[in-house]
A = this chain, B = another copy of it.
Amino acid sequence: MNRLTDLFKIKYPIIQGGMVWCSGWRLVSAVSNNGGLGLIGSGSMYPDVLQYHIKQCKKSTDQSFGVNLPLLYPNIKEHIDIILKEKIKIVFTSAGNPMTYTKLLKDNGITVVHVVANKKNAIKCVDAGVDAIVAEGFEAGGHNGHEEITTMCLIPQIKSLIDVPLIAAGGIGSGAAMLAAMSLGADGVQIGSVFAASKESSAHINFKNKILLANDGDTKLTLKEIVPVRLLKNDFYYEIENAYKQNASKEDLINILSRGRAKKGMFEGDISNGELEIGQISATIDSIKSVKKIITRIINDFNFEKNRLLQFNL
């Protein structure tokens, strides 16, 4: 269809974001089997767990799939060893410097994509020689940029700087949004929240149900002193808010965040005290659907909206 589908050998330019706790082999292979690119969320996996999910994906799909590798992951060298050993062909990196591992991965025949939230990092990506870039806006769930640039404003700016394919992320929940992102210059989209709430997502059912209840304004970008993250407003969030009101230091915030908060919320189902990373588009998610239904609907919407717009001649 376009240079992005050519690059990954997929049918539709739809990538499933490799979100922590949500992106196990069932989700990944379902996305890949339905024409998109599934990404294993290695950021919440021990190395042996990552290897297990890779092997399961290989049994469950003949199509392309990849691994999302946050560069701040502590055991990253072990993850990379597994990625090489298992002959993974596509790696998406984020949360770090693309110069660090891109060459190593590409020297091993891997297609490398890096996620950015501002122009400066897009230029670093170009210097690092990545094969494509994800530009992720302020509205996206999980870890985010400091500058708070929205998808609407970010995509055209990154587009003007790069020649490699551009993938838009943040706020993409429908075929109409995919069309919007491509109007702005993206070659395709990375979708997070909608897949996090899917039937095949490995997230806890409590978290999925909480996503369904989210309304506009129910997520917030916070914890910028540590790493900016967008999450649902729950008891944990209000604990952070109170800490801010009492002039908490970075150390205080780190103590409150502690370890395993995202696992507690997104994987173990403690929706009050866990950290629930999800995007603003969660407000539009009203049921838990299969990946097949999600992707079919996106494609149908995309075509429908495209035809609708044809009539507008200015």
A-side residues, CB < 8 A to B, are 1-2, 12, 118-119, 137-139, 146-154, 156-157, 160, 170-174, 176-177, 179-185, 215-217, 220-221, 247, 279-281, 283-284, 299, 302-303, 305-306, 309-310, 312-314
Q: Which residues of B have CB within 8 Å of A221?
A: 148
A309-B183, A314-B303 given; A216·B149 CB < 8 A: yes
A280 lies within 8 A of B183 (CB): no
B149 lies within 8 A of A173 (CB): no
Q: State the Cβ distance, A285 to closest chain B Cβ, in Å.
A: 11
Q: List 17 A-B contacts (CB under 8 A).
A: A12-B314, A137-B152, A146-B217, A148-B220, A148-B221, A152-B177, A152-B281, A153-B284, A157-B284, A179-B183, A180-B180, A180-B184, A183-B305, A247-B247, A302-B314, A306-B312, A309-B309
A177 lies within 8 A of B182 (CB): no
A283 lies within 8 A of B153 (CB): yes
A177 lies within 8 A of B184 (CB): yes
A183-B179, A306-B310, A309-B182 given; A138·B156 CB < 8 A: no
Residue of B nearest to A5 (CB): B314
A139 touches which one: B150, B177, B179 (CB < 8 A)?
B150
A185 touches which one: B154, B171, B176, B303 (CB < 8 A)?
B176
Q: Which residues of B have CB within 8 Å of A299?
A: 314
